[in-house]
A = this chain, B = another copy of it.
């Protein structure tokens, strides 16, 4: 059987909600690492423990947590999304171009929101995890992401 171990719970008060908006000018299809901006937001407000939420306000761009080491991983992820939701696959909705409907499908698959616990003043991301915006359109776009924190902060 598999083994499960759980640490005793650590408690803290909840006193603060904070919000900041991030605008990203993308250069067409691809990943943009926004981990540093998320961390800067948490540092600005003195976040100690709680939950961080990021939300992408678009239907053809999305958010994910993925490997931050080998860029080939992100290249292969784009290939995978291209295979899962290809252009020219008989979509009805094509008024905005052949890359538009595939972008909606890729957003459906990957999602527009992520929540990450904050502990000891930091996102609890694993060593190889980064927070990424994925642009699914082929041309440049301006994308807005709302970042939110709820928990204990000492500003």
Contact = CB atoms under 8 A, between A and B. Distances in A.
A150 B148 CA distance: 12
Contacts of A20: 6-10
A66 interface: yes
Contact of A22 (B4, B11, B22, B73): B4
A12 interface: yes
Contacts of A14: 14-17, 150
Interface residues of A, number: 92
Contact of A19 (B3, B16, B119): B119
24 contacts: A2-B26, A4-B23, A4-B24, A4-B25, A4-B34, A6-B40, A7-B22, A10-B18, A10-B20, A12-B16, A12-B17, A17-B49, A17-B51, A51-B53, A51-B148, A57-B126, A73-B104, A76-B93, A79-B92, A80-B85, A109-B110, A113-B115, A117-B146, A124-B146
Interface of A: 2-27, 32, 34, 37, 40-41, 44-45, 49-51, 53, 55, 57-59, 64-67, 70, 72-73, 75-77, 79-81, 83-85, 89-93, 95, 101, 104-105, 107-117, 119, 124-126, 128-129, 144, 146-148, 150-153, 155
